[in-house]
Structure 1
């Protein structure tokens, strides 16, 4: 069956001298997803950089002005076929187009640049197995999708055509080096940027009163916010248990999960139904940051955590886990707290420390904002552009991407 590939008429900017023809490859689009929000913002900034002609190869995406969108949507049945088919079709498109650089956000051998936004799959599986009993571990091992992803990941990292891996945290750089042995010169740590004007402490003044009234939360109640879809990995159960012993604290959960009812039942069994709000996925999360006093993400594994940098930019202290890349930005007691994802007592203690520091919440908020301010999208874009130019200078003169 033929692949469905379509060019959309979102014209790229007019050429001005020597411009880099860059392809960004990202398969899936979820409007509530943090990775997708990051890619959309990054594309906006790269488009405005002036030295790039950017094309986006994806199954589906929202129109982005000035970006040439190429829909790559081969038929599939099941997740292995889905990823394999997209990889095959996307590579065929970029070979035909002859881009100067191909930056993939998917595990596709043959790209020039890989952005390791999903971390190392083998590491994620190892952490996940620690939370499972025998039968679930066996089911995980028997799942062909995980074997496919690990093979594709290894082939990509060891492919000689891969010139640069963008690691979104030092944690991910270490994991890639430990697993695949890549040298330092092929790895660049570039933290995700954040729109520091859109995500700003002023959201508190604009949204706190109205949002708390809308969700029936007392104005003076200490409120922690959780944002993320995929509750098992992101740690909703851990978040619920972390606030159980702290009767004053409310928790707002923004995100989607097919097992939502299971977490609602857990909240009821813990006696938390009155203090927890499950708000579902939201296209605009900013009002929720504005209603909160702190941000909680007890994730089992998160290569960076865009929501963490968004929360910091909004002036919210962040409580996250040692296996979250954004933990590298946290100084405990100053702009947040860090705990082991697999230690329930540590999470209750971290939440208790945040609550006990209520008299210093204004100082914590200022520190959180200062942490995020240097991580503007323009800084991230400048760093990416510098790496693109360095790569092109190191490559031999070539025609179509091979």
Structure 2
């Protein structure tokens, strides 16, 4: 058989990015197809030598956000048309690709959710923003393009949003959840949990929730702090934001700063989950964050929002609760309703069982099936 030429399009590499993790699994799945040539179109990319892929550097000049998106899209499209690849999988909103991965969900819906936390004057500016109008149009053109054969999204929530917003046939939209390494993320017993808390200088006996995510506004840290202030719980905040001091001040104003522990970005996340009693993530909008899958693999109950695709893994009252992202009372009530942590409890087992099947192998098989379908 002739060599199949496959290309993935992504502007830039982020070591902690969910899209980058998904792409690494994609490359593994493609390797199983046999005679295949792997390519990446990106401004810059770090990859392992064993992946044996060709980088097509695409770094046109940019002077603002619109030029960054538009000029990359035009240059990337020119590369894939010149190279005549068999399959083009884009992780950016670029019309003309064969497969589009909607990792960021639907931009219009994100703006609607974000507007809820903004003053009225800022809401108007948000929807009038030339940049956001450009992104909405680019997204629309991507879905309307005749070349589009399939869309990959990572939650049923986003599948429905795309179908409703753009009139796309649901059969064209494939829900493929991210993978989680259950050998890396697993529940700790009581002894290990105490050791980890000592290691990180965390209160040994306190009820302690963990929040994980950079971009604090989008991920709902303000709501999380407000809810925590109404309970006796501690909150570990993992992640970064340029406006971090603003959230320090919120906690101080609510007299709970001594119970909100900011630790920045962390590498060995499994230990942080194992130190906690649950994950609190009242995100404004998130297609399906990896942190929910990781926390559940560690046996933690989850409190998240109705606008988070990860809520699909939660049975309220069994392994967590689902609240409106801005309903502080409901979030606080959910925190207080969490059962006391017990190793190997039925709730912990149930949480882990919900994500146990989301292995790298399972993800690769789903992708492999989709690629074969498109090729034939």
Q: What is the rounded CA distance, in whole Å, between the counterparts of 1:44 and 1:392 in structure 2? A: 16
Q: Partner of 1:156 in structure 2?
A: 142
2:86 is aligned with 1:100: yes
Q: Partner of 2:345 in structure 1?
A: 362
Q: What is the rounded CA distance, in whole Å, between the counterparts of 1:73 and 1:204 in structure 2? A: 51
Q: Partner of 2:73 in structure 1?
A: 87
Q: Which of 360-369 and 238-247 deviates more?
A: 360-369
Q: Contact 1:32/1:283 (CA < 8 Å) preserved in 2?
A: no
Q: TM-score, normalised by structure 2?
A: 0.93
Q: What is the rounded CA distance, in whole Å, between the counterparts of 1:50 and 1:111 in structure 2? A: 20
Q: Partner of 2:158 in structure 1?
A: 172
Q: Partner of 2:207 in structure 1?
A: 222
* Cα 1:298–1:99 shift into 2, 3 Å: same
* Cα 1:209–1:108 shift into 2, 3 Å: same
* Cα 1:201–1:360 shift into 2, 3 Å: closer
Q: What is the rounded CA distance, in whole Å, between the counterparts of 1:70 and 1:212 in structure 2? A: 46
Q: What is the RMSD computed on CA atoms of the aligned residues?
A: 2.1
Q: What is the rounded CA distance, in whole Å, between the counterparts of 2:40 and 2:33 in structure 1? A: 17
2:229 is aligned with 1:240: no
* Cα 1:257–1:204 shift into 2, 3 Å: farther
* Cα 1:44–1:162 shift into 2, 3 Å: closer
Structure 1: gaps of 5 or more residues: 1-16, 394-402
Q: Partner of 1:343 in structure 2?
A: 327
Please state how far the C-alpha of 1:191 moved relative to its aligned partner: 1.3
| Cα displacement string for residues 354-390 of structure 1 (whole angstroms, at most 9, x for unaligned residues) | 1x45469722211111111111121111011111111
| Cα displacement string for residues 149-169 of structure 1 (whole angstroms, at most 9, x for unaligned residues) | 001000000001111011211
* Cα 1:82–1:186 shift into 2, 3 Å: same
Q: What is the rounded CA distance, in whole Å, between the counterparts of 1:45 and 1:200 in structure 2? A: 24
* Cα 1:315–1:122 shift into 2, 3 Å: same
Q: Partner of 1:36 in structure 2?
A: 20
2:364 is aligned with 1:378: no
| Cα displacement string for residues 333-374 of structure 1 (whole angstroms, at most 9, x for unaligned residues) | 2222111112111111111111x4546972221111111111
Q: What is the rounded CA distance, in whole Å, between the counterparts of 2:96 and 2:15 in structure 1? A: 28
Q: Partner of 2:58 in structure 1?
A: 72
Matches within 5 A, 1:117-266: 117-202=103-188, 208-247=193-232, 249-266=233-250
Q: Partner of 1:400 in structure 2?
A: none
| Cα displacement string for residues 314-340 of structure 1 (whole angstroms, at most 9, x for unaligned residues) | 211111111101111111122221111
Q: Partner of 1:10 in structure 2?
A: none
Q: What is the rounded CA distance, in whole Å, between the counterparts of 2:304 and 2:373 in structure 1? A: 35
* Cα 1:166–1:220 shift into 2, 3 Å: same
* Cα 1:220–1:46 shift into 2, 3 Å: same
* Cα 1:29–1:237 shift into 2, 3 Å: same
Q: Which of 172-181 and 208-217 deviates more?
A: 208-217
* Cα 1:160–1:350 shift into 2, 3 Å: same
Length, aligned pairs only? 373
* Cα 1:388–1:38 shift into 2, 3 Å: closer
Q: Secondary structure at the match of 1:320?
A: strand
* Cα 1:203–1:300 shift into 2, 3 Å: farther
Q: Secondary structure at the match of 1:212?
A: helix
